[in-house]
């Protein structure tokens, strides 16, 4: 059995954006069809949809995080799409983190992350781009490399600058030949030459592998062994004993029995 982990933020936004000149009903029908097409294309018997809530720890770490979006108008039916996903598809709304983090937390060998967001390629496992209709399997080390490349080049869409003058090609070239996470970390640290800035950007760019998994560069400073060799990303912080969840699963988990067309 396969469970599709769906990026509800992107699904809702895309359907709302192409429906500006139509009424709400048409927009909702498009969204409903998109979700069903995803489940068919991934051969998923179960699903979970995640949406980002109003609060996000990254904005406390770096107040300029996504500040470049605050004045941009949102699609007319975006809220209606989000409400529909919650009401009819039992979508989970994040609390304290982003939908991306919940996708990362819930990825297993029996799931597939469904999104077009390249940030999620940090997460090992099966991925499906529902626009290009392409499937991709990310390895553990491939996910780590993707994170460090992002750390160098930044993420302009989220207003995280990275290192000035470094783009995608340069970032890949700097890390070429690195075999461990420690190698990648050491190169990035030498290029940044500013631990505070590197830590701030890293915390914004890192996507959770487990709850509360905020990137901690101190674990890699002075380390002689890559955490990758030990089988665990050393940039992550394991959950503390007794730590409570930062999100709530829907009271009626969505494990099959899809809703009727159009709600």
| Domain limit, last residue, from 115, 138, 161 | 138
Q: Answer yes or no: is 253 within a domain.
A: no
Q: What confidence category does residue 226 fall into, taking pLDDT thresholds of 50, 70 and 90?
A: very low
The enclosing domain of 167 has a CATH number of 1.10.150
**Do both 83 and 125 map to the same domain?**
yes
Q: Which domain holds residue 119?
A: 3-138
* Pairing relationship of beta strands 111-114 and 92-93 according to DSSP bridges: unpaired
Angle of CA points 195, 196, 199, to nearest 5°: 80
Question: Does position 255 have pLDDT exceeding 80, yes or no?
Answer: no
Q: Answer yes or no: is 261 within a domain.
A: no
**pLDDT tens digits for range 156-200:** 999 999 999 999 999 999 999 999 999 999 999 999 999 999 999
Q: Answer yes or no: is 258 within a domain.
A: no
What is the spatial distance between Cα 170 and Cα 191, in angstroms, rounded to a whole number?
A: 12
**Do both 17 and 130 map to the same domain?**
yes
pLDDT at 48: 98
**Do both 24 and 120 map to the same domain?**
yes
**Do both 131 and 146 map to the same domain?**
no
> How large a percentage of the chain has pLDDT more than 90?
81
Q: Answer yes or no: is 181 within a domain.
A: yes
Contact 44, 113 (CB under 8 A): no
Q: Answer yes or no: is 56 within a domain.
A: yes
Residue 74, both tokens? 């949102």
Q: What spatial distance separates the first Cα and last Cα of the chain, rounded to whole Å?
A: 25
The enclosing domain of 115 has a CATH number of 3.40.50.1010
Q: How many domains does the chain have?
A: 2
**Do both 120 and 67 map to the same domain?**
yes
pLDDT at 70: 84
Is 26 in a helix, a strand, or coil? helix
């Amino acid at each position: 059995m396969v469970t599709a982990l769906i990026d509800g933020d992107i699904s809702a936004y895309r359907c709302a954006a192409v429906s500006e000149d139509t009424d709400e009903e048409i927009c909702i029908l498009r969204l409903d069809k998109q979700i069903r097409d995803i489940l068919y294309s991934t051969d998923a018997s179960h699903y979970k949809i995640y949406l980002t809530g109003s609060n996000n720890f990254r904005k406390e770490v770096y107040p300029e995080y996504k500040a470049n979006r605050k004045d941009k108008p949102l699609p007319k039916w975006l809220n209606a799409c989000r409400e529909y996903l919650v009401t009819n598809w039992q979508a989970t709304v994040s609390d304290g983190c982003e939908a991306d983090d919940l996708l990362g937390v819930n990825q297993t060998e029996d799931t597939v992350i469904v999104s077009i967001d390249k940030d999620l390629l940090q997460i090992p496992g099966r991925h499906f781009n529902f626009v290009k209709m392409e499937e991709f399997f990310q390895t553990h080390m491939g996910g780590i490399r993707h994170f460090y490349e992002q750390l160098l080049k930044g993420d302009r869409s989220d207003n995280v600058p990275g290192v000035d003058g470094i783009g995608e090609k340069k970032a890949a070239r700097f890390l070429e030949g690195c075999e461990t996470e420690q190698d990648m970390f050491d190169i990035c640290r030498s290029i940044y030459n500013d631990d505070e800035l590197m830590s701030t950007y890293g915390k914004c760019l890192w996507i959770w592998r487990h709850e509360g998994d905020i990137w901690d560069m101190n674990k890699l400073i002075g380390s002689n062994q890559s955490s990758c060799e030990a089988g665990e990303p050393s940039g992550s912080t394991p959950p503390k004993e007794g730590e409570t969840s930062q999100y709530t699963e829907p009271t009626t988990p969505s494990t099959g029995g899809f809703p009727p067309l159009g709600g």
